Structure 1
């Protein structure tokens, strides 16, 4: 067998990011499994943990074989398995489902950054694992009436082309606004659905965070989520469409944190970046100018909030540094 090619810089960066996210998810799963009361939910989460743990060890081996420092990521010190339940009413599965949505997007991106056969194989296997459990989480929530389905419409009877540029306007000369199309509605609906879960998550984080700066940051995030839900909901209401009524789970009265402030900040950082990606897609594929503008303004607010969180993590020494493109170490 020929000598294995060294990891490229893009592969190293992708594996580093995957290690951060996977170790975080393992810690979250460990707490949710420990506090789960529903046997079916617990079994699904245990299955995901058992599937992810060997992949984390495999990524660790990639680093070791290259003589690279293994990232710190998130360890047992970042989770308190003895903490009482912070969330109830299916929130554990709701959050796991959103985390799997993030994973699916990142694996697709990281797969396009991989050139070595074993790295491509890793991301292909992670993609299959994630899609499998995303389906299980979705089915569980639907069966338990914890996830609402999007609106149904009458199916179109013809296929047509857009012939009038007024289709792009939010309003026409008479002040009448064309109705959202299903693509525009889909991105708005998805944004509302994920923000409901995100708002519940960050509200729970604010309730139990130890550091005053972190608590203040989470409370600000809660207000931002409310604003996003209000703005997106208004777009639907103005088109006589009701916003989704996803419960989002319940927050208990516990103030004992199940996770370190470091882990909760990084989880929020991931969710914010996921929100930015969703709003960018929504703005990119929306053909109604007023919707584009509204999503762009929301994305600006989320971006500013995300950068503020990065500063908080740096100030407290919680943001691990990715491998750098050190010019002295670049291969000729």
Structure 2
């Protein structure tokens, strides 16, 4: 066996999607760093930029060494640092925190589909970077009072076991529902927090998108996120659990886009994928039937919204194709 065997299809796919995500992230960081007015936030973003830029170069080198075409990804054409500020009062760090959460999931998944040791190590290192900066963003937002901690709970003084199937009940909207357990609260709070940050990001995209169909698409996404937040907050209220969205960050009145429509559409697609994954976990770990049903409806709505976005990207020539397997039937036919 050679010291470094050729990369496999799954490794090529993992590197390709990481290249797309990281080049998008770098363009967004370039703009956020340029507009940062808080020194600590600027330091976090600058250090993150330098670390990620190094790994984009590493992935590029692997593609070159393997004789693979370098993806287009996102370039200087997809960002305009000279336009007015679109996000203010800590919303830049809030959005970076959300994107780092997506990165953690993406890299952890890629590790499970990677076999060559140097690429496994790369994804492990990227996972560590994502975890580190996610925590830095979290602590920054907490220090600034921009992030709300999840609800507190009385500590259990004994261990209980489920006694009957009524624990799973709740599908009847008029029936009596048991109180939420802490696992369910965790997933519901996370969904509210993520949808709030995503909604803020998409509202900004809607204000400054160039194409009218893209504006309409982002408006629809913001309304979808609002609806999900409203329904989940209602679940908390029914169980007498306090719920509050983050208090920091806002979208300015700027209508001049810092990013290309292509970049904003791809970013929204990532958010949709992340949201569907989060709702899947929420469904799997929620033991109350009405919550599982609610999460399933959310997933259906998000999937349909993401599919609509994919059609817009294809129509405008913005969807870059991942590397394909050889089309054997076509070769034989020719």
Aligned to 2:81: 81
Give the distance between the partners of 1:131 and 1:245, measured in 2 at CA: 23
- Runs of 5+ in structure 1 lacking a partner? none
Give the distance between the partners of 1:95 and 1:261, measured in 2 at CA: 18
Shift of 1:170: 1.2
Give the distance between the partners of 2:83 and 2:285, measured in 1 at CA: 43
Aligned to 2:96: 96
**Secondary structure class of the residue paired with 2:312:** helix
Cα deviation code 1:204-233 (max 9, x no counterpart): 100000011100100111111111111111
Aligned to 2:14: 14
Shift of 1:3: 4.0
For the 8 Å contact 1:171–1:178, the answer to whether it is kept is: no
Superposed CA RMSD: 1.4
Matches within 5 A, 1:315-326: 315-326=315-326
Shift of 1:248: 5.2
Matched, 1:108 2:108: yes
Shift of 1:253: 1.1
Matched, 1:280 2:280: yes
Shift of 1:116: 0.1
> Do the aligned partners of residues 171 and 70 (structure 1) sit closer, same or farther apart at CA in structure 2, a change above 3 Å counting?
closer
For the 8 Å contact 2:145–2:248, the answer to whether it is kept is: no
Aligned to 1:296: 296
Task: Answer with 59-68 or 247-256: which moved more.
Answer: 247-256
For the 8 Å contact 1:205–1:218, the answer to whether it is kept is: yes
Matched, 1:238 2:242: no
Give the distance between the partners of 1:67 and 1:167, measured in 2 at CA: 57
- Runs of 5+ in structure 2 lacking a partner? 330-334
For the 8 Å contact 2:86–2:252, the answer to whether it is kept is: yes
Aligned to 1:250: 250
User: For this pair of structures, how many residues does the alignment match?
Assistant: 328
Shift of 1:88: 0.4
Relative to the length of structure 1, the TM-score reads: 0.96
Relative to the length of structure 2, the TM-score reads: 0.96
For the 8 Å contact 1:23–1:74, the answer to whether it is kept is: yes
Q: List structure 1 runs of 4+ shifted beyond 6 angstroms.
A: none
